[in-house]
């Protein structure tokens, strides 16, 4: 059984928007006033319901039509107020969702690279689903449940008063119970709560698990769509089908447990609903037959009892929604905690006033703590062209991640020039959805560069067929070959003009001639840029001044390279 939701953690989900939006607070106050006022309005209107049925009981047509007209007017007014309340609630719900979404996206994609840290640690599954779906559910359900709870309290107060006045008292033996229908409604409400909790207390945990397995299945579908070509090349469709079948089986297994819980909950709710409708008639029938109350008073008491009992059993009617709210709230709290987790202390990356990249006592480790490499001392002076080489698994790419501040596992210090603009180019660059120009200028805004400059750099990087398609929007990561994507990455470097560029197997999909052309372009256009390349190819030797060789069993050495140009 899950522990109770910590109030402090729930408040961390509420504060980001409400602490900053005065307009939302004012609208919320209006909603609260409506939620509290509608029960009072409903309680006041029951007297006209009583008048209507009394007129029918006494066959008084004039009183009946007068009461009917008043009741119709009250109904129309209630419909207008209810509609207005719903519209305001939906407006506020989306505004809150927008504020909380921006809060989480800002933390997830913040300066501390939390999105990368979460993926590396796997401490919060499917953060994208939590931000997209759980935030929506949390904001909508919190507002709906909170307002309905306030309405339930108002109903108990106002309808309870009507019920107290109408039901008068009842004598059982020597005991007289004033407002006995009111006390009966309270007992019925408490009994409902106990019964419903017994029937559905496992729903919250299972709902949370259902969201997880659904998100895993959806993520697998997205992953297969993005890797369609690779899967087709490997003839892996059957394996992927089996993986989807396995993931969907997990959905079905958890859903079977949920169905059992829903069955128990639904049956219990049906029994309670039937009892709630029958009890007031049975309790009032003796007074009706004895002439103590008329038909109008009975119908008024019936309405007040049902309203009061349902309000007291608020948790009964909202148990499934509360289970869903609990599960999405826990998932958002979990995401918050993962974002709050500090990066472990290890490799210390800091800036200084020097003009070079330096490392002192640098040791690289795997997340498990296993030793990877002792890089030791390292200096990359301004304008240097360094090649990083070594056997697979020795830590070449990890060294670049450490310099980028993305790899804390290890020890030692790395010093980065304070004002240096660095750019890291992986083997397969990220290409966002949108126009080709947006993909080309990423991560800078497309409007920062004119079309002529972009077209020229595409021509220079051996992509003349793309130079006229700058504003074409498509899934470019699927349209471009591996070699085209790597040439596009070099075009980005030429546009960005960084002070230091790190190229991690950035020409692995290119032929030797294309590779030479692109490196010559970098040297010609960016003569002062420091270049650090990770590669196995010896064809890159001539484009670099020195080589950092990482040894398989640890250690490194820097050797000069004989360049022909």
The reported pLDDT for the residue numbered 504 is 92
Where residue 1 falls among pLDDT bands split at 50, 70, 90?
very low
370 with 295, same domain: the answer is no
Q: What's the number of domains the chain is made of?
A: 2
Last residue of a domain, one of 306, 323, 340: 340
189-198, 332-341, 507-516: least confidently modelled range: 189-198
With a pLDDT cut of 90, the percent of the chain lying above it is: 21
Given a cut of 80, whether residue 366 has pLDDT beyond it is: yes
DSSP string, 321-371: HHHHHHHHHHHHHHHHHHHHSPPPS-SEEEEES-SSEEEEEEEEE-TTS-E
451 with 531, same domain: the answer is yes
Q: What is the maximum span of the chain, computed from C-alpha positions, in angstroms?
A: 115
267 with 396, same domain: the answer is no
Rounded Cα gap, residues 285 and 371, in angstroms: 83
Last residue of a domain, one of 287, 313, 340: 340
The model's pLDDT over 279-300, given as tens digits with 9 standing for 90+, comes to 666 666 666 666 666 666 666 6
Report the range out of 41-50, 221-230, 263-272 with the highest average pLDDT: 221-230
Given a cut of 60, whether residue 563 has pLDDT beyond it is: no
27 with 78, same domain: the answer is yes
Rounded Cα gap, residues 63 and 46, in angstroms: 16
pTM exceeding the 0.75 threshold for the entire prediction: no
Instruction: Please state the rounded mean pLDDT for residues 302-324.
Output: 75
DSSP string, 464-523: GGGTT-TT-EE-HHHHS-HHHHHHHHHHHHHHH--SEEEEESTTTTS-HHHHHHHHHHHH
Report the range out of 16-30, 69-83, 447-461 with the highest average pLDDT: 447-461
**234 or 417, greater pLDDT:** 417
CATH of the domain at 422: 3.40.50.300
69 with 179, same domain: the answer is yes
298 with 405, same domain: the answer is no
Given a cut of 70, whether residue 153 has pLDDT beyond it is: yes
285 with 393, same domain: the answer is no
**In this structure, are strands 175-178 and 169-172 parallel, antiparallel, or unpaired?**
antiparallel
Given a cut of 90, whether residue 492 has pLDDT beyond it is: yes
Its domain, for residue 367, covers: 348-560
CATH of the domain at 70: 1.20.1560.10
Q: Which of 390, 417, 378, 392 is closest to 499 using CA atoms?
A: 417
Given a cut of 50, whether residue 565 has pLDDT beyond it is: no
**193 or 96, greater pLDDT:** 96
The reported pLDDT for the residue numbered 338 is 84
42-46, 102-106, 238-242, 321-325: least confidently modelled range: 42-46
Within 10 angstroms of residue 77's Cβ, the number of other Cβ atoms is 12
Is 334 in contact with 118 (CB distance < 8 Å)? no
Last residue of a domain, one of 293, 313, 340: 340
352 with 300, same domain: the answer is no
**Secondary structure E strands in 340-453:** 348-352, 357-365, 371-380, 385-389, 410-417, 422-425, 434-435
Where residue 48 falls among pLDDT bands split at 50, 70, 90?
low
Where residue 65 falls among pLDDT bands split at 50, 70, 90?
confident
The reported pLDDT for the residue numbered 286 is 64
228-237, 285-294, 350-359: least confidently modelled range: 285-294
């Amino acid at each position: 059984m899950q522990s109770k939701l910590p109030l402090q953690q729930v408040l961390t989900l509420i504060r980001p928007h409400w602490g900053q939006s005065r307009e939302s607070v004012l609208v919320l106050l209006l909603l609260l006033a409506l939620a509290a006022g509608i029960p009072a309005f409903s309680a006041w209107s029951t007297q006209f319901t009583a008048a209507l049925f009394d007129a029918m009981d006494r066959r008084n047509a004039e009183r009946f039509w007068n009461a009917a007209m008043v009741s119709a007017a009250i109904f129309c007014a209630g419909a207008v107020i209810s509609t207005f309340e719903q519209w305001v609630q939906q407006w506020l719900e989306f505004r809150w969702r927008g504020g909380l979404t921006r809060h989480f996206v800002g933390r997830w994609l913040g300066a501390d690279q939390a999105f990368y840290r979460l993926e590396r640690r796997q401490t919060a599954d499917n953060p994208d689903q939590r931000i997209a779906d759980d935030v929506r559910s949390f904001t909508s359900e919190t507002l709906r449940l909170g307002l309905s709870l306030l309405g339930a309290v108002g109903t108990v107060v106002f309808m309870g008063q009507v019920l107290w006045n109408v039901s008068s008292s009842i004598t059982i033996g020597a005991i007289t119970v004033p407002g006995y229908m009111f006390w009966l409604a309270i007992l019925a409400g408490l009994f409902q709560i106990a019964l419903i909790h017994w029937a559905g207390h496992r729903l919250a945990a299972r709902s949370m698990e259902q969201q997880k397995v659904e998100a895993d299945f959806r993520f697998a579908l997205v992953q297969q769509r993005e890797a369609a070509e690779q899967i087709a090349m490997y003839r892996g469709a059957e394996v992927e089908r089996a993986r989807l079948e396995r993931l969907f089986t997990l959905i079905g297994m958890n859903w079977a447990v949920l169905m059992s819980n829903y069955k128990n909950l639904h049956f219990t709710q049906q029994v309670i609903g039937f009892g709630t409708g029958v009890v007031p008639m049975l309790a009032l029938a003796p007074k009706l037959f004895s002439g103590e109350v008329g038909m109008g008073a009975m119908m008024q008491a019936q309405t007040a009892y049902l309203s009061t009992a349902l309000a007291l059993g608020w948790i009964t009617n909202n148990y499934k929604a509360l289970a869903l709210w609990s599960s999405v709230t826990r998932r958002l709290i979990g995401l918050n905690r993962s974002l709050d987790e500090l990066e472990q202390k290890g490799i210390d990356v800091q800036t200084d006033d020097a003009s070079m990249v330096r490392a002192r006592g640098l040791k690289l480790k795997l997340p498990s703590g296993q030793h990877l490499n002792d890089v030791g001392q390292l200096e990359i002076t301004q304008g240097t062209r360094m090649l990083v080489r070594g056997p697979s698994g020795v830590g070449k790419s990890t060294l670049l991640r450490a310099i980028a501040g993305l790899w804390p596992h290890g020890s030692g210090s790395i010093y980065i020039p304070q004002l240096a603009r660095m750019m890291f180019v992986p083997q397969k660059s990220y290409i966002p959805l949108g126009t080709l120009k947006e993909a080309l200028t990423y991560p800078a805004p497309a409007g920062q560069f004119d079309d002529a400059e972009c077209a020229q750099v595409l021509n220079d990087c051996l992509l003349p067929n793309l130079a006229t398609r700058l504003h074409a929007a498509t899934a470019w990561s699927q349209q471009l070959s591996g070699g085209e994507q790597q040439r596009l990455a070099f075009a980005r470097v030429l546009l960005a003009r960084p002070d230091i560029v790190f190229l991690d197997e950035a020409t692995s999909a290119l032929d030797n001639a294309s590779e030479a052309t692109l490196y010559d372009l970098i040297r010609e256009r960016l003569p002062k840029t420091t270049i650090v390349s990770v590669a196995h190819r010896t064809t890159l030797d001539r484009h670099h001044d020195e080589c950092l060789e990482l040894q398989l069993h640890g250690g490194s050495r820097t050797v000069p390279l004989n360049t022909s140009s």
